[in-house]
Amino acid sequence: MHRSIYITLLIALFNHTICAQTLIGERTVHFKDEKRNRPLVTEIWYPTTDTLKQSDKAFSPFTRAYTVRDGKLPTAKLPLIMISHGTGGSRLSLEWLADALVQKGFIVAAVDHWGNTYDHKIALEFLKPWERPRDISFVIGSLLTQPDIKDMIDPGKIGMAGFSFGGYTAIALAGGKFDFLSLLNYYKTIGRNEINVPEFPGISKYLDDKDLLAVAKNPPPLYDKRIRAFFAISPALGPGFVTDKDITAPVYIVGSQSDSMAPVKTNALRYHQLIKGSLYYINPGKIGHYVMLQEAIDDVKKEAPTYFTDDASVSRHQVHLKMDSLAVGFFVKNLKE
């Protein structure tokens, strides 16, 4: 091939690659559910036509794509995907998934579940499953009324994704029914390993709290009919799941074979077996629970190996790419086609 033609083709390929990548805008919004006295910090990612500034290229302890802070909002109405983090996590825990969804034309909003984040831990908030779905519903309502933001959301195309405790959150919002009293009893007996989480050691001593038990007997309704598709990654709280009789929307459940925090048999598999028509995928081999968290730099891996270091046979990056493929395909099919 002639040198000049070869160079021209390289330039064309480079320009095509640049054009194919959508720049991601990011902004933080502060909501508060006054009735429950819950601040709900929410991160939003979206396609933007703005360009990256030098200040957008700040250091991060995690492997992440650069985003345009407070970038220009899209003018078209796009589907919205809500994200719920795992126990003791944060709204940024699944940014890798948010990025992949934005690249396919979705808006993504992730919520910090008050009292259940890595930097704000309240014992009972780790044990009150009914609060998380209500957080998501409140933020959806807030986004749909927020000036500027509401104009970029198609209210008829809303999806939900969650990891671990967030995976349960998705299924509860889909209309799944749970027996929370039975779940608490499970944790006090044969399920002790599933409640002894490293994010809050000793949390099991709060299982007999009288206020917790009182609401567990008569929990509030959690179903949200505005959400049309649900993607649950390593969902927890499976032993408390009772029935799917009110679930009509599509559900995709993902588990990991070597997950010791939310074992497949009592969680992902149980949900799949009880939710008629649900899709199901199990990550094979030695892929564990925390592989779904953001990739970290070496210093962070050394400081917190439980959360950020995987078995030598596992590539966290490749696992994320697989999850991206499944989630994006699922939401495109159910919200865009």
The first and second tokens of residue 29, run together, are 């919004």
Give the E-state strand segments of the chain in sequence order. Answer: 24-33, 38-47, 68-69, 78-84, 107-111, 116-117, 120-121, 153-163, 177-178, 227-233, 241-243, 251-256, 279-283
The answer to whether the CB of 231 falls within 8 A of the CB of 160 is yes
How does DSSP assign 90-134, residue by residue?
-TTTTHHHHHHHHHTT-EEEEE--TTEETTEE-GGGGS-TTHHHH
Give 2's pLDDT tier (boundaries 50, 70, 90).
Answer: very low
- Does pLDDT of 275 surpass 80? yes
Question: Which residue reads 């198609």 in tokens?
Answer: 154
Q: Is the pLDDT of residue 302 over 60?
A: yes
Number of alpha carbons in the 13 Å side-chain half-sphere of residue 36: 20
The one-character DSSP state at 295 is: P
User: Which pairing describes strands 177-178 and 241-243: parallel, antiparallel, or unpaired?
Assistant: antiparallel
Distance linking the first and last C-alpha atoms of the chain: 42
How much is the pLDDT for 21?
A: 76
Per the model's pLDDT, the better-predicted residue between 48 and 14 turns out to be 48
* Residue-range domain boundaries for the chain: 22-335
Residue 307 makes CB contacts below 8 A (sequence gap 6+) with 290, 293, 296
**Helix 180-188 vs helix 210-217: crossing angle, to nearest 10:** 140
Tokens of 172: 């509860």
pLDDT at 111: 98
8 Å CB contact between 290 and 60 = no
Q: Region 221-246: what's the mean pLDDT? A: 98
Indicate the CATH number for domain 22-335: 3.40.50.1820
Contact 44, 107 (CB under 8 A): yes
Mean pLDDT of 26-47: 98
Using the structure block, give the residue that is written with the tokens 């696992």.
319
pLDDT above 50: residue 12: no
Rounded to whole angstroms, the Cα distance separating 162 from 228 reads: 14
pLDDT in tens, 165-178: 999 999 999 999 99
- Number of Cβ within 10 Å of residue 284's Cβ equals 9
Per-residue pLDDT averaged across 239-249, rounded? 97
CA distance 274 to 247: 11
Across all residues in the chain, what is the average pLDDT?
Answer: 93
Check residue 13 and give its pLDDT: 37
Predicted confidence (pLDDT) per residue in 190-222, tens digit: 999 899 999 999 999 999 999 999 999 999 999
Contacts of 118 (CB under 8 A, 6+ apart): 88, 89, 90, 199
